[in-house]
Each structure stands twice: as structure tokens, then as C-alpha cells.
Amino acid sequence: MLETAPQVPKSHDGPITTRPALPSDAVEIARIGATSFTAAFGHSIPAADMAAYLESDFSIAATSATLHSPLMTTIVAVAPDGAITGYAQLREGTTEPCINQRDLPTVELQRLYMSTEWMGKRIGPMLMQRADEIAREMGKKTMWLGVWEENYRAQKVYEKLGYRKVGDHEFVSGECVQTDWILLKYL
């Protein structure tokens, strides 16, 4: 049985760094993902649908499978004490009808989550910069993502990072259907 990782401290001495995620990071990545997703969307998704989504996408088993997938690249931001403060996941092989990837190879930024204790500390932009570098190393020319139409804070961050709206799609969680904006960035 995996033990729960310690809570992330509220302060640190020294710089935050990034590194590839390790299989041993699954517990902390799952915790950050579930906590962040719940904080952002918990008020808008019925409890039963939320519980099912968290189990299917943010359980330790689901997170471990993601970390082992050859289509996924996960990077973590790490505090000087070794605590994971956030993570980003790139996923190859996905697209949307509004994205023309015939001439421009693309990759999806599937997740960008920070531990709530580290929100507002510029970890997101740091992870995004590293994700951009990795995508370029993969030979990608564009990166896309879906962001909930009511997640104004994230939309502003993505706009500052060079993303532009190119379409939308439905995000279905159980009986709850929401609209995600599809944002695209040229690398």
C-alpha cells in the first residue's frame, strides 16, 4: 500500500525546479490533481459525477497508468525540500476539429495543476515554459488545451502565455455537460 505523501509546506528556501515525473510521484500528483480539480470545478459538478471523475482520472491507479503511458509526458515542479508543488502533462495523439494539424504537428497540454499552497507563486508559467521546451524537442509546432469557459483566471494566464481561442467542445462528466474553450499556441 502506498503511503500518503507529506503536505507541501507553505514556504521554502531556494528555487523551485522542474524534472520528469517518476512513478514514485503518483501519490502526490494524484493528490494535487484531485484537489485542484475539485477546487476549480467542485461547485459546478454534481457530487456523484465529481466522485466518479476523480476516481477515473485522479486516483493513484489512474495517475500511475498515465505516468507509464508512452503518449504522456509529465513534468513536476519541486520545492527545495523535495515536495512536488505542481505538474504539467503533455499528451500526444489528440486533436480537435478546430485544429488543423496537417502542416503543424501538435501536442495537447492535458493538465497543468498546482498545489493550492503554491498558487500564485509563478509555478504555472515555469511549468509551461518547460512544457514548451519539451514540445519543441518532440518536433511539435503548436500546443493546444481545453479550458472551462468559466475558468477566467486560467484563461488570463493562458492568454499571457500566448494561447488564443480557436474553438470549443463539450466536457462531459456524468450528467454534467460544460463547455471548454479550445486554445492554441504556436511554438
Q: Categorize the per-residue pLDDT at 73 as very low, low, confident or very high, splitting at 50, 70 and 90.
A: very high
Whether the per-residue pLDDT at 64 is higher than 90: the answer is yes
The cell for 34 is 484531485
Whether the per-residue pLDDT at 49 is higher than 90: the answer is no
Geometric angle at alpha carbon 69, from 113 and 71, rounded to 5°? 80
- The CB density around residue 150, as the number of other CB atoms within 10 Å, is 14
Helix, coil or strand: residue 121: coil
| pLDDT (mean) for 74-80 | 95
Please report the DSSP string for 44-74 in residue order. Answer: TS-HHHHHHHHHHHHSHHHHHHHHH-TTEEE
In percent, how much of the chain has pLDDT > 90? 55
Domains of the chain from N-terminus onward: 17-186 (3.40.630.30)
Whether the per-residue pLDDT at 108 is higher than 90: the answer is yes
The residue behind cell 497540454 is 109
Q: How far apart are CA 76 and CA 127, in angstroms?
A: 8
The mean-pLDDT minimum among 29-38, 51-60, 139-148 falls in 51-60
**Per-residue model confidence (pLDDT) at position 159:** 93
**Per-residue model confidence (pLDDT) at position 25:** 97
pTM: 0.85
**Per-residue model confidence (pLDDT) at position 102:** 64
**Per-residue model confidence (pLDDT) at position 5:** 35
Whether the per-residue pLDDT at 128 is higher than 60: the answer is yes
β partners of residue 164: 184
Whole-angstrom CA distances from 160 to 4, 31, 73, 154, 164 are 35, 27, 23, 10, 10
Whether the per-residue pLDDT at 111 is higher than 80: the answer is yes
Q: Categorize the per-residue pLDDT at 14 as very low, low, confident or very high, splitting at 50, 70 and 90.
A: confident
Q: How far apart are CA 124 and CA 121, in angstroms?
A: 8
